[in-house]
Amino acid sequence: RYYDPCGGRYTQMDPIGLLGGLNTYTYVVDPLTWVDPLGLSACAFGGYFNRKGLRRDVYRAQRPGSYHSIKHIQAKTAEEARLLSLGKGARKGDPEASYFPEFAKQVTGFEKQAAYDAIRNGNVFEHGGTRFMFYKNPTGPVGYNAGKMTEWVRIEMTNTGVPVIHSFPASIEQVGKYIPGAK
């Protein structure tokens, strides 16, 4: 079928009659915001504009300006990351999930790339004004959470004017609350 943008409709009838509605020449109700790649549906395809907005927020996001921004990236060795994740040597004595040093050195770029991947895979959840995203590193563990090595990262991003983003190695138990069956 050919689409006439001036007329806002197709020039031929829907040849197979799928979801054509009463007028088989129509495109979608609002072609500027709705996506309909095959011309058969009148609803957004896969939440494209929601994902686009999330990607824009990730791009604009800034790291927090407090201790919160560095508490997961202080380990100088893998063993120190394990100990910090158990609360040993941590500032307040509380367990702090910790990245391995090689990830800690590049956390800003890494966490944004992980967020983009989580968005692409649909691993985004909103709760109380914060977006939670989960990413599984395909090359192996990224750090420790509660003394256990993990490949998963939890990215948190506020839903505010200028989004604030931070991340940390996530336990499989944390991930499983949002993504049942995650391994």
Q: Compute the half-sphere exposure of residue 174: CA atoms within 13 Å on the CB side of its CA.
A: 22
Quick one: 18 and 66 in the same domain?
A: no
Same domain, yes or no: 112 and 27: no
**Three-state secondary structure call for residue 155:** strand
User: Which pTM value belongs to this model?
Assistant: 0.70
Regarding whether 136 and 66 lie in a shared domain, the answer is: yes
* Closest C-alpha among 106, 103, 170, 99 to residue 133: 170
Note whether 17 and 40 are within 8 A (CB). no
Q: Compute φ and ψ for 140, nearest 5 degrees.
A: 125, -170
Residue 27: give the domain boundaries: 1-45
Domain membership flag for residue 57: yes
- Is there a domain that residue 183 lies in? no
Structure confidence by residue, pLDDT tens digits, 98-157? 999 998 888 878 889 999 998 888 888 888 888 899 999 999 999 999 999 999 999 999
For 4-30, write each residue's pLDDT tens digit.
666 656 666 666 555 545 555 555 544
Per-residue pLDDT reduced to its tens digit, 28-50: 544 444 444 555 443 333 466 67
Residue 140 lies in a domain: yes
**Domain identity same for 116 and 152:** yes
Residues 41, 54, single domain; the answer is no
Cβ pair 138, 175 in contact under 8 A: no
Into how many domains does the chain fold?
Answer: 2
Residue 113 lies in a domain: yes
Tell me: do 103 and 40 sit in the same domain: no
What does the longest C-alpha to C-alpha distance in the chain come to?
Answer: 71
